[in-house]
Amino acid sequence: MSNSRVKTFNDEVQVKYIFNARKPFLKGYQEAMNTIGTNKENTIFIGDQIFTDVYGANRAGLKTILVKPIHPKEEIQIVLKRYLEKIVLFFYMKTKE
C-alpha cells in the first residue's frame, strides 16, 4: 500500500495513521498505540487481511474486526493471500456452526 493511498483514506476519516507499519510484527502495533495514546485494553484494530492485520493484531493482544477489502484491484501477493484466507475463513465458519 502506498503512502498516498493511506493518506487518501485518512483524509476521509481524519485520524492519525502510520504508513508502513510492518504488519504483522508487534512493533508496528505498539507504535500505532503510542502514536494515538492508547493501549491494548482500549484499542480495536480494523483490517481486511487475516495474515497481516488480524493475525498480527491478535498477537499484540488487540481485539480485531475483519472487514471486506475496499478496492478490488490488489497486488499479486495480496491476491494469492486472499485464496488462503478463503480457506481459513471456511474452516473458521465451520467451527461456528
Residue 39 is placed in which grid cell?
Answer: 493501549
Query: Residue 22: what pLDDT?
Result: 83
Q: Provide φ and ψ at 7, rounded to 5°.
A: -65, -40
Tell me, what's the pLDDT at 3? Answer: 67
pTM, entire model: 0.73
Average pLDDT per consecutive 10 residues, the chain (97 residues; last block may be shorter)? 70 78 89 91 92 93 91 78 89 86
Q: Look up residue 82 and give its three cell numbers.
A: 486472499
CATH 1.10.645.10 is the classification of domain 3-70: no
Query: Residue 2: its pLDDT value, please?
Result: 62
Residues paired with 47 in a beta bridge: 66
pLDDT for residue 82: 84
Computed on alpha carbons and rounded to an integer, the radius of gyration of the chain in Å comes to 14
Give which of 20, 14, 6, 4 is closest to 70, Cα–Cα: 6
Closest CA to 1 of 13, 26, 18, 25: 18
The pLDDT of residue 61 is 96
